[in-house]
Chain A
Amino acid sequence: EPEVTQTPSHQVTQMGQEVILRCVPISNHLYFYWYRQILGQKVEFLVSFYNNEISEKSEIFDDQFSVERPDGSNFTLKIRSTKLEDSAMYFCASSPTGKPTGELFFGEGSRLTVL
């Protein structure tokens, strides 16, 4: 069964370093998302991406964050200069329809630890 894959599964980095989290969405899906969950808190929406551009982003997704689809398969989240509060599990998701009534297909997550 097709699935969303994410790498790395865990990354430890020093504050101020750049981090790139990678995702391979399901191949025939057109809508891509990043969510995150800080330990003990709710899963939060970061950004949605369609047709090679951001379609929606949350307040969390400030200038330190960027997303890219560098080729036909990868979808990346870059954090330019990590802060301690960026420590979280980051989930990539994809959807065939982009409709609010359509389910999202999530990856297993990338755990980011900022020291």
Chain B
Amino acid sequence: ILNVEQSPQSLHVQEGDSTNFTCSFPSSNFYALHWYRWETAKSPEALFVMTLNGDEKKKGRISATLNTKEGYSYLYIKGSQPEDSATYLCASPIRDSQGNLIFGKGTKLSVKP
């Protein structure tokens, strides 16, 4: 059974702090890892889809790394801003599925001005 775990569950940081959180997934039968950003009352929005071991992706102040051998991905936010406050979800697809993503519970980030 594919199980995706995220930690921490929630995080409170000050504006300007850099932060990171973790997504763990089974390393066997790995196919891809998705990161989504979900602001309250809005739709979850894709940040990254990663497939290769050692892959590193960046979008502005947000970056992510992937280690498929040990089964984890880190999401980093450099110099957090209040607008980064959101729940960050990671998900991994079941192999050979069409969009059946197994999600973690998410990390809820609050950035205080």
Residues of A with Cβ closer than 8 Å to B?
Answer: 3-4, 31, 33, 35, 41-45, 48, 50, 55-56, 58, 91, 93, 95, 98-109
- Please provide the 6 A-B residue pairs with the shortest distance between their CB atoms, ordered closest to farther: A100-B93, A103-B46, A43-B103, A106-B43, A106-B44, A98-B98
B17-35 at interface with A (beta carbon < 8 Å): 31-32, 34
Which residues from chain A contact B31 at a C-beta distance below 8 Å? Answer: 100-101
Partner of A4, one of B34, B43, B98, B100: B43
- B2 → chain A closest CB, angstroms: 11
Which residues from chain B contact A95 at a C-beta distance below 8 Å? Answer: 99
Give the interface SS of chain B, mostly helix, strand, loop or mixed.
loop
Give the total of B residues in contact with A, Cβ under 8 Å: 29
19 A–B contacts from the bound complex (CB under 8 Å) = A31-B99, A41-B105, A42-B105, A43-B91, A45-B99, A48-B98, A48-B99, A50-B98, A55-B98, A56-B97, A95-B99, A100-B95, A100-B99, A101-B31, A101-B49, A102-B49, A103-B46, A104-B34, A109-B43
